[in-house]
Copies of this chain bind each other. A is one copy, B any other.
């Protein structure tokens, strides 16, 4: 899969990695059993710190997308096959109506987090 990181974004680097992995899995670019690059490899190629990548991997593990084993690296789990297309569709709708209401990205983010915490 292709990793695209925006260092200028206000979104944490590790969170960007997590989101990208989810999208890749949803698009079939990551199949169950596939291996992600080792943390040290990915950190090298993206010019990030190993710890940043590891934080992303650990969150991906918490979310059930990968398994982590010492000496072996990160392996995509069976559960990773989850279909994200409903999410992308819901996202598109949300963005459209939010724009119509003149909501800033920041404001919308607060609303999303609030809605998720309920």
A30-38, A46-54, A67-75, A104-112 - the one binding chain B: A104-112
Residues of B within 8 A of A101 (CB): 22, 26, 82-84, 86-87
Within 8 A of B (CB), among A70-118: 79, 82-84, 86-87, 89-95, 97-98, 100-117
Within 8 A of B (CB), among A1-55: 9-11, 15-16, 18-19, 22-23, 26
Are A63 and B104 touching (Cβ within 8 A)?
A: yes
Are A97 and B107 touching (Cβ within 8 A)?
A: no
Determine which of B10, B26, B110 lies in contact with A18 in the assembled complex, contact meaning CB atoms within 8 Å: B110
Chain A: interface secondary structure? helix
Smallest CB gap from A91: residue in B: B115
Smallest CB gap from A95: residue in B: B115
Are A115 and B102 touching (Cβ within 8 A)?
A: no
Q: Say yes or no: A109-B107 contact (C-beta < 8 A), given A86-B97, A87-B101.
A: no
13 A–B contacts from the bound complex (CB under 8 Å): A11-B109, A11-B110, A15-B110, A16-B110, A19-B114, A22-B101, A59-B106, A63-B104, A84-B101, A87-B98, A90-B98, A95-B116, A112-B112
